[in-house]
Structure 1
């Protein structure tokens, strides 16, 4: 799709601890070194849990293109988490395509909701330059 991609691993089929890979990749998104991240694990949820602990990251789990569209339109998510054990490559490709090409909605109600989520982040997460 014309994007620059950095594969952060792992580069084998060996069992790994997701935090060893998701944390540095999510941190790079939080620091705005990358605009977005796409993480693939067994079902997607552990990657999202880890990523959402980083200031500036809004990670979502999507299992179909409809959810991917809403995750961008309504929430302006910047990390997509996919479950490699529950979706196949064809649907994963459609989810990624939809998520990458959908822009956030700009109506007041969506902006208000996003701001409320950002306010929660401000109250409970440290900014990366404060760590």
Structure 2
């Protein structure tokens, strides 16, 4: 799987750990920065990574900032992206099973490395429950909202 990864300075260290894990599992990582812990603006990195997912250059995205919400706010402004902030493996599982998210957002100031790695593993290996009508219907309704209000790339 091709996975776009991006972070700000607060998420840099954890992003590097996640990248190493993804590569060790055979995933292709598309790196969008940042490249250090020097203060920076989150949108400079999350926005281009989001575009890569939206354009199909990456299958999914994993974005890491201080608390995760900034990344999710940016990603969810882009047509075709469904981002969720996950702070535990249970939420990561539901974000995939019930909501078919294609972007995972993690808060490096909120959770530690060990739990973050477990969240990534669960999120990557959990499938959307597309054959269960209520989940498909709910995701379809969210996608209809996007169709009405977001611009296709």
Q: Same fold (TM over 0.5)?
A: yes
Q: Which runs of 5+ in 2 are unaligned?
A: 1-24
Distance in 1 between the 2:72 and 2:55 partners?
17
Residues 1-131 of structure 1: matches in 2 within 5 Å? 1-105=25-129, 106-128=131-153
CA offset digits 1:51-91 (Å, max 9, x no partner): 10000100000000000000000010000000000111100
CA apart distance, 1:26? 0.3
CA apart distance, 1:8? 1.2
Aligned residues: 128
TM-score scaled by length of structure 1: 0.96
Q: SS of 1:5's equivalent?
A: strand
TM-score scaled by length of structure 2: 0.82
CA apart distance, 1:5? 0.9
Distance in 1 between the 2:26 and 2:126 partners?
15
Distance in 2 between the 1:75 and 1:2 partners?
25
Distance in 2 between the 1:80 and 1:88 partners?
16
Instruction: Return structure 1 stretches of 4+ with deviation > 6 angstroms.
Output: none
CA apart distance, 1:7? 1.9
Quick check: which one's strand share is greater? 2
Q: Which runs of 5+ in 1 are unaligned?
A: none
